[in-house]
Amino acid sequence: MAKNARRSIPNGTTGPGPGTGRPGLVPANPISAQRALLQVAVLLGIPLVLLIIGKVLIRAWFPELGY
């Protein structure tokens, strides 16, 4: 079989084309860059703050762990 031969499809279709009902990749109402950066800061900031608070609490409650 040739390397560039196409695989035959039983019902004769060649795959999804335009107009198959899927929405486009560009959103209808994109958010601003400021709002996107705010979302990134919140999504990264909350776990980091929780880790720092947990570290402080563990040091306060378990000082014998030695770190």
Each of the 67 residues of the chain gets a pLDDT tens digit; together they read 556 556 655 555 555 556 678 888 888 899 999 999 999 999 999 999 999 999 999 999 998 887 6
pTM score, two decimals?
0.52
Structural domain range at position 56: 33-65
Give the DSSP letter of residue 64: G
Residue 14 falls within a domain, yes or no?
no
Question: What confidence score (pLDDT) does residue 2 get?
Answer: 59
Please give the structure tokens belonging to residue 14. 């060649």
3-state secondary structure 3-58: CCCCCCCCCCCCCCCCCCCCCCCCCCCCCCHHHHHHHHHHHHHHHHHHHHHHHHHH
Domain-located, residue 50:
yes
Looking at residue 27, what is its pLDDT? 87
Within a domain: 25: no
In a domain, 39, yes or no: yes
Q: What is the pLDDT of residue 56?
A: 93
